[in-house]
Amino acid sequence: MLAALRNRFLNLAKSSQSWNHQLGFRGLNQTSSYLSTLTNSSDEGLLNLQEVEKVLSDVKADNVKVIPVGEQCDWTDFMVIATGRSTWHVRNIARALAYKAKQKQKETGAQRLMLPSVQGQETGKWVVVDSGKVIVHALDEKARDYYNLENLWSSGMSHLEPVKVS
Amino acid sequence: MTCSNFLSQQQRTFIQMRTVLKVVDNSGAKKVMCIQALKGKKGARLGDTIVASVKEAMPNGKVKKGKVVYGVVVRAAMQRGRCDGSEVKFDDNAVVLVDKQGQPIGTRVFGPVPHELRKKKHVKILTLAEHIA
């Protein structure tokens, strides 16, 4: 969705520039340049793949798998799946990723901090850190077996799973 | 003679109490009836969470008939505006069952799901889905 939003911002910027020639609004020039800087900074502030892998190895997450899903789905490029040994460990992985994003943005000096969104923080079973092109799933062992995300994303999306038995 | 198009089309509305929705994950339930829309005075829309009661279920599944569950609306017949001005609407009302903390009960989601779920913090359902609209 961020990719789609970025495309829309660029289209808006282009169309507003063509309007400028016709209508002669000076003020719109400034807003279109602001839009382009906004999209650029949103790309840099969020994490990319190498940084995610480094953070995961620092935190000692088990069984880290990176799955490139760029062809299969258009809202993200990489899915990273990591296992935590306990609920506290899973939450720690998510906190470490958020901390790294915050550090990175403090270094580049962005105007406002755009942290990656973390979902599932209360239960430590499955925490998702959404940083644009890279989505990190931190699960514990039982949840990893239950949801079986590698199966879903590595072999494509054309299979039907049977009903979950209680 | 020919009625105007506007009058012959139905005006779709919110998902409220007594709305029957289809369940599109493999948690075992087939149909649920909404008993409360958690946010919104008029009802739930695409991407909102509802409280529902299971009306029809598969014989051996994780949820049984009569259980009160939470669900996230993934397809709604009522149109929802997107930020670029377009609107998205589906042919049916469908829901994915979650628990109180927001973890999906099933492991796969069938049918298309819209992008709105990402903004609404339901990325887990998006990862389990097979097709994103």
Cα(A127)–Cα(A96) distance, integer angstroms: 12
Q: Enumerate the H helices of chain A as residue ranges.
A: 2-23, 27-45, 49-59, 87-108, 141-147, 149-154
- At A7 the pLDDT is 52
Kindly state the percentage of chain B with pLDDT values over 70: 97
**Contact status of A75 with chain B (Cβ, < 8 Å):** yes
Asked if the structure places residue A13 within a domain, the reply is yes
Q: Is A5 exposed, middle or buried (0-12, 13-18, 19+ CB in 10 A)?
A: middle
Kindly report, residue by residue over B10-58, the tens digit of the pLDDT: 888 999 999 999 999 999 999 999 999 999 899 999 999 999 999 999 9
Which residues in chain A touch residue B105, judged by CB atoms under 8 angstroms apart? 164
Measured torsion, CA atoms of residues A59, A62, A66, A67, in degrees rounded to the nearest 10: -140
- Nearest CA distance, A34 vs chain B (angstrom): 18
* Reported ipTM: 0.79
CB A106 within 8 A of CB A49: no
| A141/B contact by beta carbon, under 8 A | no
Residue A79 domain boundaries:
2-18+43-153
State the pLDDT at residue A8: 54
Q: Do A128 and B124 touch (CB under 8 A)?
A: yes
At residue B92, the pLDDT reads 92
B60 in A contact zone (CB under 8 Å)? yes
User: Is the per-residue pLDDT at B107 higher than 80?
Assistant: yes
Q: Is A28 part of a structural domain of the chain? A: no
The percentage of residues in chain B with a pLDDT greater than 90, rounded to a whole number, is 70
Q: Who contacts A82 (Cβ-Cβ below 8 Å, separation ≥6)?
A: A56, A61, A62, A63, A64, A65, A93, A136, A137, A138, A139
Asked if residue A120 belongs to a domain, the reply is yes
Concatenated DSSP letters for B64-129? -TT-EEEEEEEE-SS-EE-TTS-EE--SS-EEEEE-TTS-BSSS-EEEEE-THHHHTT-HHHHHHE
CATH assignment of the domain containing A62: 3.30.460.10
Could you say which of B26, B103, B126 has the minimum Cβ distance to residue A126?
B103
- Would you say residue A144 lies in a domain? yes
Contacts of A102 (CB under 8 A, 6+ apart): A113, A115
> Would you say how long chain B is, in residues?
133
**Measured CA angle at A49 (ends A128, A77), to 5 deg:** 70
Considering only CB atoms, which chain B residues are within 8 Å of A148?
107
Question: Which pair of tokens denotes residue B125?
Answer: 């359902």
Over residues A86-115, the pLDDT tens digits come to 888 888 888 888 888 888 888 777 677 777
Question: Which residue ranges in chain A fall short of pLDDT 70?
Answer: 1-47, 110, 155-166
- Model confidence band, residue B65 (pLDDT cutoffs 50, 70, 90): very high
Q: To the nearest 10°, the Cα dihedral for A52, A153, B87, B121?
A: -40
In a domain, A122, yes or no: yes
Number of folded domains in chain A?
A: 1
Q: CA-to-CA distance for B110 and B49, rounded, in angstroms?
A: 18
Q: CA nearest B118 in A: which residue?
A: A1
Res. B2: pLDDT tops 80: no
Inter-chain residue contact B103 with A125, CB threshold 8 Å:
yes
Q: Which two tokens stand for residue B68?
A: 């009160």
Task: Please check whether residue A37 lies inside any domain of the structure.
Answer: no
CB contacts < 8 A (A, B):
78
Chain A residues in contact with B101 (beta carbon < 8 A): 120, 122-123
CB B39 within 8 A of CB B45: no
Residue A124 lies inside a defined structural domain of this protein: yes
**Cβ of A163 under 8 Å from any chain B Cβ?**
yes
What local confidence, expressed as pLDDT, does residue B21 receive? 95
A24 located within any domain: no
